[in-house]
Amino acid sequence: MLEGNDIHLRTVKEADLAALYSCFDSIRMKGEYLSSELISEHQFRLNFYETGLWTEEKGTLLLEHSDRLIGAIWFEKQPFFDCLDVHFYIFRAQDRNKGLMKEALTLFSSYLFATKKVERLQISIPDYSKPALALAKSCGFKFEGIARRALFNRGAYLDLCIYSLLRSECKEIEKIYS
C-alpha cells in the first residue's frame, strides 16, 4: 500500500471485483472522459485472476479515501516510446475536485519512478477535459503538444493534449520510502 496524507493507493483484491467492475462497466459512471468501450465481466475477472491487474506492462491501483473506494489510477507501457502512459479516474462526482487525485497522481508517479526503469511518464488528455489538464499541470507534467484526432470516443475523433513528467522532474521519489 502507498500511503498519502488523505488517500491510500493499493492493489486490487478479489473482494473489490464486483464494485470495481460496476464502475468500469457503466458508461454513465465513466463520464465523458474515459473510453466508452465495455468489457465483459468474465474477461475482467480473467484479467484479474491471471495477473492481479498488475504486470510489468500494465498495472492498476485503487484509490481509497476515508476507508472508501473512490477511484483508480493505472499505467500502461507505451508500444513506441520508452515511457508509461498514466490514466486516472475518480468514480463519483461527489468525490471530485477535492485534491485527492492530485495527491494520488503525485504518489503514483513517484512510485513508478522509484520502482520502474523508465525515464518518462505520459498523460494523454482530451482537449476539453479542463479538470484533468489542470491536474496534470499541478502535478508537474509539462505540455508537449497535441495529438490531433488521436482518440475515437462517443462517435467522434478527439484531439489529445500530451503531457509528460521526466524522472529528473519528479520531486517526491524519496517520500515513497519515508
Percent of the chain at pLDDT above 90?
Answer: 69
- DSSP annotation of 19: H
In the prediction, which pLDDT does 2 show? 92
In the prediction, which pLDDT does 26 show? 57
CB 75 within 8 A of CB 113: no
Query: What average pLDDT does this structure show over 61-89?
Result: 94
pLDDT for 70 beyond 70: yes
Q: Name the residue among 41, 137, 34 with its Cα closest to residue 88.
A: 34
Looking up residue 43, the CATH number of its domain turns out to be 3.40.630.30
pLDDT tens string 10-52: 999 999 999 998 887 755 444 455 555 678 889 999 999 999 9
CB 126 within 8 A of CB 154: no
In the prediction, which pLDDT does 29 show? 47
Q: What is the pTM of this model?
A: 0.90
> Residue 153 — very low, low, confident or very high, per pLDDT cuts 50/70/90?
confident
pLDDT tens string 103-135: 999 999 999 999 999 999 999 998 888 999 999
Residues with Cβ within 8 Å of residue 26, at least 6 apart in sequence: none
| Three-state secondary-structure class, residue 6 | coil
pLDDT tens string 156-173: 888 999 999 999 999 877
Range of the domain at 71: 2-177
Q: Report the number of distinct structural domains present in the chain.
A: 1
pLDDT for 155 beyond 90: no
pLDDT for 89 beyond 60: yes
CA atoms in the 13 A half-sphere facing the CB of 104: 29
